[in-house]
């Protein structure tokens, strides 16, 4: 109705960005106005034009996914897919997936695995926005991801029932494995991702995910001052 005021869940843009975990303003979609977006809006905008979004705090937040992040995610999907298919464990999805974690929170993990334990009928959910909570989710960090954003995502994932989360940093070539939002195991560049109780027997060296990327540039040594 014209003239009807909409009560927003935040007072100003600063409060919204803070609640989203310090997301850069350029990733906030203004159509529809922040605080008023719905799942219908998410489906309308998702992938158009070539942008992926998540729905948080009634706001469409662009999901950053660059060339390097896509390569790393694709390598993981290939390795994970071979293992999951061989042992008929469930199904996996890529970055354009949408999962409703809570009534007003829809996330799109870069990679996810859903066990057939979650789907006893052994068929994948085909809804545009799935309500089936994955067993494993993976976030491949972009330069535009803030630490606060990832912290909030992890809380959302585990509150909804996710059992394992991997956060991969392609620039540092390291990762973190989470069994809870505040239980992180740091994995160094020469370390290995382990499926644990979620994917028993699945392991992948981090180096395998970065094998197709150029070697990191060597750090320049500071010049010594002449005496």
What is the tens place of the pLDDT at every residue in 212-222? 998 876 666 66
**DSSP E strand boundaries for 35-173:** 52-56, 59-63, 90-93, 99-102, 105-107, 111-115, 136-140, 164-169
Topology of domain 67-209 in CATH is tt1808, chain A (3.90.1570)
Percent of the chain with pLDDT over 90: 84
Give the per-residue pLDDT at 65.
Answer: 82
Map out the domains of the chain as residue ranges. 13-63, 67-209
The H-or-E segment that residue 179 falls in is strand 174-180
CA distance 188 to 211: 15
Reading the block at residue 80, the tokens are 């994970």
Coil, helix or strand at residue 210: coil
Mean pLDDT calculated for residue range 88-100? 95
pLDDT one-digit tens code per residue, 127-153: 999 999 999 999 999 999 999 999 999
pLDDT one-digit tens code per residue, 173-192: 999 999 999 999 999 999 99
């Amino acid at each position: 109705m014209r003239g009807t005021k909409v009560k927003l869940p935040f007072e100003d843009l600063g409060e919204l960005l803070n609640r989203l975990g310090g997301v850069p303003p350029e990733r906030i979609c203004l159509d529809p106005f922040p605080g008023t977006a719905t799942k219908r809006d998410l489906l309308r905008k998702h992938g158009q034009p070539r942008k992926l979004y998540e729905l948080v705090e009634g706001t469409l937040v662009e999901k950053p996914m660059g060339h390097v992040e896509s390569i790393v995610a694709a390598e993981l999907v290939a390795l994970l897919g071979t293992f999951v298919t061989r042992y008929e464990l469930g199904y996996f999805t890529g970055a354009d997936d949408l999962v409703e974690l809570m009534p007003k929170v829809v996330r799109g993990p870069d990679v996810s695995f859903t066990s057939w334990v979650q789907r006893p009928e052994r068929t994948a959910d085909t809804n545009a926005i799935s309500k089936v909570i994955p067993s494993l989710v993976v976030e491949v960090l972009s330069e535009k991801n803030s630490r606060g954003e990832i912290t909030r995502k992890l809380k959302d994932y585990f509150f909804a029932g996710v059992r394992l989360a991997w956060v991969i940093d392609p620039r540092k070539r390291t990762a973190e494995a989470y069994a809870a939002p505040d239980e992180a195991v740091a994995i160094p560049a020469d370390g290995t991702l382990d499926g644990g109780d979620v994917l028993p027997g699945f392991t992948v060296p981090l180096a395998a995910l970065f094998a197709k990327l150029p070697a990191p540039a060597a750090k320049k040594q500071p010049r010594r001052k002449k005496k």
